[in-house]
Amino acid sequence: MKRILILFSLLLVLSCGEKKNKDNTEQKKDAAATENINNGNEITALGQSMIDDGKMDSEQNVDQAKIEQAKEAAKNGDVQAMLALSAFYYQSNEKEESKKWLEMAAEKGNNDAIRNLAIINREMGNEKEYLKWSEKYALNTNDKNMLAAIGGTYMNNKNLSEAKRWFERAYNAGEKRVDINIAQINANQNNMSEALKWYKRAAARGEKDANRGIGLIYFNQNRNTEAREYLKKAYNSGMKELSMPIAITYHKQNNMEEAKKWYAIAAANGDKDAKKNLAILNSAGSAKTNASNDPLFNSPIDKAPSLTGGTPNKTKTPTDDTNSTNIVKNGNNQNQGVTVDYTPQDKKSGNSDPNDMFNVDTN
């Protein structure tokens, strides 16, 4: 049993405590103390004295005396009491009061408090404070998920330079899946050499959008053979709209049989310009035949592949919903059920999910 959960459980007491449970209660106190000692967790005298028996439920009553006791301990510098109080008030939907105790713990340098301050501010719609605390937490811990979530926030806000900076930090911290976001930002900033470098990393990782990005960059550079290689890979992964640029690459290289084949595919997929080009190529000797081998009708192609990133979901913006409320316990998050738009969340331990906050499980 982790120390935050222990202290939080101390703030509530069972509505009825019968004498016959006394022995079991004492045994559980001893077991909890032993477990925390084995885990290297320091237990305050207050915490040890306030351990209660059993699970908490909605029918339990609040013992105001114990809350006051916890407040007194917190004011005397007990960080675990501060965290327990913040969790109590969060569950009571008193977020301002919860923030007050988190800020006290954050001033003591507690990273769990810093992270939870980021998340509670996001839930309250205070993006400036969310970024302040999430950046502090990310820099303190090098948490790859939080680093990536910050990048996603800046990406949503169209601050691409900041987004790229945080995504690169996340990548260096081990979150390789943000390579596609870094590539897309470079493409939108017209830095095509960097975009290609990052797209190729993403492609090597199996990211199908990367093949589309590489293909379109080469297409717009008139590097038709190279473009076609990647566009076909993306097409084969399900991006059927790319049949049109594939056809155009053949058309520009005067390979009319392949051009007609791919125009027909594009036309079947609903591309009106492909249908027009196919009709022209099939009209032998037409006065409209393009002597330069350039298509008469060229469907618009992205000059820079559009961004597909996002911020933390519960969200997908910094202020959205979640049905899961988790607290960080000694640096470890307990629930990974929320995703981040920029890429699926890593569910491995050791890096927190930046969308979850308080967990009041008292098992």
As given in the structure block, the two tokens for residue 139 are: 């820099």
Contacts of 338 (CB under 8 A, 6+ apart): 312, 313, 314, 322, 324, 345, 353, 355, 356
Strand, coil or helix: what is 27?
Answer: helix
pLDDT of residue 14: 30
Over residues 117-129, the pLDDT tens digits come to: 999 999 999 999 9
Domain 191-282 has what CATH class? mainly alpha
pLDDT of residue 64: 84
Q: Has residue 198 got a pLDDT over 50?
A: yes
pLDDT interval class at 17 (50, 70, 90): very low
Work out the average pLDDT over 326-355: 36
Over residues 18-56, the pLDDT tens digits come to: 344 445 545 554 444 334 323 333 334 333 333 343 222
CA distance 73 to 26: 23
pLDDT of residue 298: 62
Percent of the chain with pLDDT over 90: 55
pLDDT of residue 342: 30
Tally of CB atoms within 10 A around 233: 18
Work out the average pLDDT over 119-145: 95
Tally of CB atoms within 10 A around 262: 28
Q: Has residue 194 got a pLDDT over 50?
A: yes
Over residues 94-106, the pLDDT tens digits come to: 999 999 999 999 9
User: Which 8-state DSSP code applies to residue 351?
Assistant: S
CA distance to 215, 263, 300, per residue, from 271 (Å) = 19, 9, 11
pLDDT of residue 82: 94
Residues β-bridged to residue 312? 340
pLDDT interval class at 256 (50, 70, 90): very high
Strand, coil or helix: what is 340?
Answer: strand
pLDDT interval class at 311 (50, 70, 90): very low
CA distance to 187, 197, 251, 252, 304, per residue, from 300 (Å) = 17, 24, 16, 16, 12
Phi-psi region of 142 (alpha: psi -120 to 50; beta: other; left: phi over 0): left
Buried b (16+ CB within 10 A) or exposed e, 81-117: bbbbbbbbbbbeeebeebbebbebbbeeebbbbbbbb
pLDDT of residue 63: 77
Q: In terms of Cα–Cα distance, which of 162, 174, 239, 229 is closest to 200?
A: 229
pLDDT of residue 285: 44
pLDDT of residue 49: 36
**339 and 322 in contact (C-beta within 8 Å)?**
no
> Could you state, in order of their start, the residue ranges of all structural domains in the chain?
1-107, 109-158+311-363, 191-282
